[in-house]
Amino acid sequence: MATLQLNNIVKNFGSTQVIKGVDLEVKDREFVVFVGPSGCGKSTLMRMIAGLESTTSGDIFIDGERINDVGPADRRLAMVFQSYALYPHMTVEDNMGFNLRLAKVPKAERREKVLAAARILQLEELLDRKPRALSGGQRQRVAIGRAIVRNPSIFLFDEPLSNLDAALRVQMRIELARLHEELDATMIYVTHDQIEAMTMADKIVVLQGGVVEQIGSPMALYHHPANRFVAGFIGSPKMNFLDVEIRGADAEGVDVVLPGGDCRVPVKGDGVSTGDKLTLGVRPEHLKIDDQGPLTGKILVIERLGGTTSLYLENGDSQWILVADGDVTSRVHDQIRFSFDPACAHLFKRNGEALLHRHCHPLVASESK
């Protein structure tokens, strides 16, 4: 159980800067997810926390103690690798008890602790097997078990589910969330999958190109993305974007010109003036089919998922995704009109920065209390 603090962390590989000054505070028992496209530096950041990679500059604190010069063995962390990194020549029991063996813990006590962890993960039957005799999901469990036995101050997970099939991934996701609840531990989790991030995190750190784009709760990122990148990255299907012109703006809202009529988006319009070009962002689930709507499009593809239906629309250069009810009757090639609730829309400046919403989403507001 521990806190973690990163102060202006920078990492260079040769002349390439891969982490460009990251600040982060992780509270005790928090589940923090680093998410971003591949190459964004999230794994490197985790490896620096683990001590497997040195920092070029900046400080790392665990429980207030600076650990830059402490080796990985002495940071009291446990890490679950993407490849699981189970020792192939050792049985499951030896794999899980290896850290105790290194710490010269007596055999009986070692077995007891391994059994306790095995019970949590339902691994008791497999203790005598070698890793190659295990399925992917079982290996994953052993890797987590090994981390639990270590009784670390912080758990690190480096894309632990990416080698599992879709069904198993969902199951392990739930299991990890349960484990976090049960162990009451601080956990840091790296993934490129925004669904894993949304479902498990207390706090998400969105990274791109070695820079933190936004830190916040899943709902804060969803409802109040700080910029266009976060808006596009979080949420599935992706947010729709449309370049728009501004009719007028004040502190109460911004008037946007749309093909079928203007619309007032309730964001703070400071620094925006008439004639400016902004980007409008609306999530597919916030678009609705509406015969009076200000937007039109031709249906290119319909994906019926049962509960919902995704409509892929095209209008000139602009492409839209609209998530409608499962029983929507539209057909491919239909021309439809659609609209959205301006309160759910976002506006982004040319540099990608979002205009602040006038009202905080109730879910997000309740989190900060």
Partner 1 sequence: MNTSKRWLPRTFKVALLTLLLLWTLIPICWMVLSSFKANDIITASTPRVLFSPTLEHYASLFSSGNSLWPYLLNSLFIAGTSTLIAVVLGCMAGFGLSRIRIKGKQHLAFWIISTRMAPIAAVIVPLYLLFRYLYLLDTHAGLIVAYLSFNLPFAIWLMTAFFDDLPPDLEEAAMIDGATKLQAFRYVVLPLMTPGLVTTTILCFIFAWNDYAFAQTFSGPNTQTIPIAAAQLLTQTGIDWGKLLAIGTIVVCPMAIAGLLVKRWLVQGLTLGAVK
Q: Which stretch binds partner 1 (CB under 8 A): 94-102, 169-177, 293-301, 348-356?
A: 94-102
Strand ranges, E, within the chain: 4-13, 16-26, 31-35, 57-62, 65-66, 77-80, 154-158, 186-191, 203-208, 211-216, 240-250, 253-257, 263-265, 277-282, 287-289, 295-304, 308-315, 318-325, 335-340, 346-348
| Residue 110 binds to partner 1 (criterion: CB under 8 A) | no
Question: Which residue, 64 or 71, has its beta carbon nearer to partner 1?
Answer: 71
Residue 339 CA to residue 282 CA, distance in Å, equals 10
Instruction: Please select the residue that binds partner 1; options are 103, 301, 363, 365, rule is CB under 8 A.
Output: 103
Task: List the Cα angle 72/73/75 in 5-degree steps.
Answer: 65
Q: Which one of the spans 54-62, 83-91, 200-208, 285-293 is the region binding partner 1 (CB under 8 A)?
A: 83-91
CB of 77 to partner 1, least distance (A): 6
Handedness of CA 153, 158, 159, 164 (dihedral sign): negative
x/- mask, partner 1, residues 37-76, rule CB under 8 A, reads -------------xxx------------------xxxxx-
Nearer to partner 1, 102 or 166 (CB): 102
At 328 the three-state DSSP class reads coil
Alpha-helical (H) ranges within the chain are: 42-50, 92-102, 107-120, 136-149, 166-183, 194-200, 218-223, 228-233, 362-367
Torsion of CA 179, 183, 189, 191, to 10 degrees: 0
> Within 318-347, which residues bind partner 1 (CB under 8 A)?
none
* Residue from the set 4, 46, 78, 205 that interacts with partner 1 by CB under 8 A: 78
| Shortest Å distance, C-beta 88 to partner 1 | 6
8, 54, 57, 83: which one contacts partner 1 (CB under 8 A)? 83
Q: Measured between alpha carbons, how far is 121 from 260 in angstroms, rounded to an integer?
A: 57
Minimum distance, C-beta of residue 158 to partner 1, in the bound complex (Å): 9
Residue 121 or 143 having the CB closest to partner 1 = 143
CB of 183 to partner 1, least distance (A): 17
Least spacing, CB of residue 153 vs partner 1, in Å: 12
| 88 is a contact residue toward partner 1 (CB under 8 A) | yes
Query: Which one, 51 or 225, has the nearer CB to partner 1?
Result: 51
Q: Is 14 in the site for partner 1 (CB under 8 A)?
A: yes
Q: What is the DSSP letter of 303?
A: E
Query: How far from each other are the two terminal CA atoms of the chain, in whole angstroms?
Result: 23
Strands 263-265 and 154-158: unpaired
* Interaction between residue 77 and partner 1 (CB under 8 A): yes
Complex with partner 1: residue 86 or 187, whichever CB lies closer: 86
CA separation (Å) from 346 to 89, 113, 224, 227, 330? 54, 51, 8, 9, 27
- Interface residue with partner 1, options 113, 141, 150, 286 (CB under 8 A): 150
| Of the candidate residues 16, 102, 108, 306, the single one contacting partner 1 (CB under 8 A) | 102
What residue ranges bind partner 1 (CB under 8 A)? Answer: 14, 50-52, 71-75, 77-79, 81-83, 85-89, 98-99, 102-103, 146, 150
